[in-house]
Amino acid sequence: MSAASVERPAGDRPLTAEANRLMDRLPGYRVEIIGGQLLVTPPADGAHARALTKLMRPFIAAGLDDAETLVVQAIGLWLPTGTEDFAIPDLAIVEADFESHLIENNCYDPIAFRLVLEVTSSNYRTDLRTKVAAYADAKVPVYVIVDRKHQRLHVLTEPEGGDYDNHQVHAPGETVTLPKSVGAEVTLDVSAVLKAATQRAEAGQ
């Protein structure tokens, strides 16, 4: 997938209205506004989608989809970086009452998010740079990036200003235990995550 940056459309129509128009015209595409620019991302490939399913399993097994929190995909996170800015992370751990934190346009207050996770595609720079700053500004406690291009898993914690003070990069063969702030002890097998995210599924797998 690739993300195209689109300048504010001419006239008085706000970016939010333009984003909604694009989503109506391009079903399955993800449209976000970050830093006052529209980011339009085509639908995920099979490996991307399969990786998200596999990534949900350890969170659900740890009980993060049962009581105080929920495991959700592709819900809007309202960003403080601009008057119309919002992102749509691939996966998130949110407070069970996140729907009471609705701001507008199906986007929710960052206070409801304990963790956001992105699986990179050809627009990997957006996840590794642009969204790092955006999620840090929003004070999301934990940001996990499955970097398919470089075969690494990033875990970012301790948001401060427009960056995370703690940025750990993990290679295949390692296991990663996420901070307890997500609500439970969750350990990820880096090799298994990256394999699911990059290889075509085999019959019977």
pLDDT digits (tens, 9 = 90+) for 11-28: 444 898 999 999 899 988
Reduced to 3 states (helix: H, G, I; strand: E, B; else coil), residue 11 is coil
Confidence band, pLDDT 50/70/90 cuts, at residue 9: very low
Indicate if the alpha-carbon torsion angle 12, 16, 19, 21 is positive or negative.
negative
User: To the nearest whole number, what is the mean pLDDT of the chain?
Assistant: 89
Q: List, in order, residues 6 or more apart from 161 with CB less than 8 Å away.
A: 136, 137
Tokens 């235990």, located at residue: 177
Per-residue DSSP letter, 181: G
Q: List, in order, residues 6 or more apart from 61 with CB less than 8 Å away.
A: none
pLDDT at 1 over 80: no
| pLDDT score recorded for residue 200 | 63
| pLDDT score recorded for residue 6 | 41
